[in-house]
Amino acid sequence: MNNRYIVLIIAFIAFISLGLPDSVLGVAWPSIRREYLLPQSGLGMVLIGVGLGFLTMSFNMGSLVQRIGMGKLLALGMFLVAAGLTGYVLSRSWPVFLLCAYVVGLGAGSLHSGLNAYVAEKFSGRLVNWLHACYGLGATIGPLLMTAAIEQAGSWRWGYLFVAGCMLTMSLTFTLTRRLWVLSVQTPTAILQPPVPTVQPIQPPTEPLPPANMRAALKNPIVRLQIGLFFLYTGVEVTAGQWSFTLLTEARGVEAAQAGLWVSAYWAFLMIGRIAFGFLVSWLPMSLLVRLSTIGVTAGAALLAVRGGAALSLLGLTLLGFALAPIFPSLMKQTPARVGKRLATFAVGFQSSAATLGIMIVPGFTGLLVQWYNLEVVGLVLSVVAISLLLLHEVLVHRAPV
């Protein structure tokens, strides 16, 4: 089989694996909170622990790829996530649990940054959306898996143990195929040597390009705008995914099993949306798709914010999931075109770091507001961040249309 197809198949499976640990925490949280006797804001502490680890790896992703190669980075990332999740299972104290969250973040930072940089360079916009749809598939399975572990096995630990096994299997897969994962920044030095001189027309001298590094990427105004967008995007996605189960069960009287299905529906519509937009991306400009999506995200957040019955909450969740679908993969795919291939790897690392900050800060701050006020504040936070996402994307399209 052609190496490209092998890599593509593994990438599809890897994105499914990425979705599993990201979506189970929201369903497991009420049980974890009761076991460790924690306040609602404790969820923010877990996300901060994961986020700090994520930032540590993703911020330095460009340098790590150049030093050890993409294949080894992905294998290491999967192993660290598996180790951290196993630590969740074995932990008997809250500080140990938080330390394990940091380890999970280290692995997740390697995986998200590395895989997104790879697929943005190697695959079409359609495939990028479908690959991220696989993330949605994993995220859809995760809440169902954790709900079954709690309802049938009686403990959230069994759910995390299963996910840890999946991640360890993927680590072995990346180890065996590590030589297939190569980015342009890893081009062997010999290939970069000039060819044997031949008679060439005299070309006017050109000014050398400045070196591609983290500083150059941070000085680029488009990179900074996209950093803001990724912060807001993950703020919405993760706040909805992690807090909706608690909102539905503890504030709106929905049964745990039904709420687990609804959270799975949120992630399922994220997956369905990415499959659908994978077809549309050949017909409509990505910027238009993202623009329409940000409008849909704002509408979905508003519906979830209104306490108008179970049907309205479900409609808001599913619309939110569907509308969020193309934003992350489309923005990642547009990154090389907007900032240039020289800066793209560094930009993707910064964007992943910004996405992590969104995961840490927005749901964490929401937890504080929940503790100070009540769970209904979740919908208000989602609405404010969704409107900010819409407005900032309009600024980006005006500055850098692609």
pLDDT in tens, 240-281: 988 998 898 888 888 888 888 888 899 889 888 888 877 777
CB of 21 within 8 A of CB of 46? no
Whether residue 331 lies inside any domain: the answer is: yes
Query: What does the pLDDT average to over 52-65?
Result: 76
The CATH number assigned to the domain holding 77 equals 1.20.1250.20
How many C-beta atoms lie closer than 10 Å to residue 129's C-beta?
A: 27
**Percent over 90 (pLDDT), the chain:** 30
The structural domain count of the chain equals 1
Contacts for 80 with CB less than 8 Å, ≥ 6 apart: 103, 104, 106, 107, 110
CA 5 to chain centre: 24
CB of 53 within 8 A of CB of 101? yes
For the chain, give the mean pLDDT. 83
Whether residue 201 lies inside any domain: the answer is: no
Angle ∠(391,248,46) on CA atoms, nearest 5 = 70
Closest of 51, 342, 361 to residue 223, by C-alpha: 342
**pTM summary value:** 0.73
Phi-psi region of 243 (alpha: psi -120 to 50; beta: other; left: phi over 0): alpha
Query: What does the pLDDT average to over 276-290?
Result: 81
- Confidence label for 185 from pLDDT (cuts 50, 70 and 90): very low
Pick from 156-160, 202-206, 303-307, 324-328: least confident:
202-206
pLDDT at 298 over 70: yes
Range of the domain at 39: 3-185+213-399
Give the integer Cα–Cα distance in Å for 320 and 358.
17
Whether residue 22 lies inside any domain: the answer is: yes
Give the integer Cα–Cα distance in Å for 86 and 32.
15
Give the integer Cα–Cα distance in Å for 367 and 334.
33
Give the integer Cα–Cα distance in Å for 172 and 43.
31
pLDDT in tens, 92-104: 999 999 999 999 9
Whether residue 205 lies inside any domain: the answer is: no
Whether residue 329 lies inside any domain: the answer is: yes
pLDDT at 207: 47
User: What distances in angstroms separate CA 51 from CA 92, 95, 121, 271, 286, one per listed residue?
Assistant: 22, 16, 25, 23, 29
Closest of 131, 82, 129 to residue 107, by C-alpha: 82
Pick from 200-209, 229-238, 389-398: least confident:
200-209
Whether residue 335 lies inside any domain: the answer is: yes
- Confidence label for 193 from pLDDT (cuts 50, 70 and 90): very low
